[in-house]
Structure 1
């Protein structure tokens, strides 16, 4: 199972993000941490997709300043569950955004689809 590891620094802020991804025939898996140092927050996440790269499962843990965990699932039929509760209002969605950002830019990605340069947000360390 091939694997890659990346580390990014935030542009203009004291923060970083790390991710480890492993790829197999059945489904890619991502595990990472975002350190938002200005806010004093650390977000750890594990994300899984199906073999086609469509989001299926995530566990997000806000480790600091107060520990909280959220589980998000998307079934093949389009049903979304958040912490085990059905959320039909998300049925049209296919992916999640752990950054919660509406920022847009032209980005550079590698062969795995990982961002190498996200102007004004992140840069590969």
Structure 2
């Protein structure tokens, strides 16, 4: 999970941490992914392009294999995370990036958003 502990939209990670842990445990307990463990790796983007890129590269090159990225919530960091995630062929699911530019499927082929683009507001 890559999202801000600080930055223009505030501290979202502290609020989300217990919910993410409960969701991971629920997935494991359900037997939905037999033989797999669900680990949540939390990384701070600070709503920053530079920090988002560094967080993505660090997350993807350290520890266990990552199969998906949840985040970011800030459009500028979301674009940077997506650019870095593409190098690893990893799916990115964003809960809140609304910039219309992120709809470019050629530039952001691994990005899926859970919120509509600002273009539709």
Instruction: Normalising by structure 1, report the TM-score.
Output: 0.31
Q: Which has the higher contact order (CA 8 A, sep 6+)?
A: 2
More helix by share: 2
Q: Which has the larger radius of gyration?
A: 1
More strand by share: 1
Instruction: Normalising by structure 2, report the TM-score.
Output: 0.31
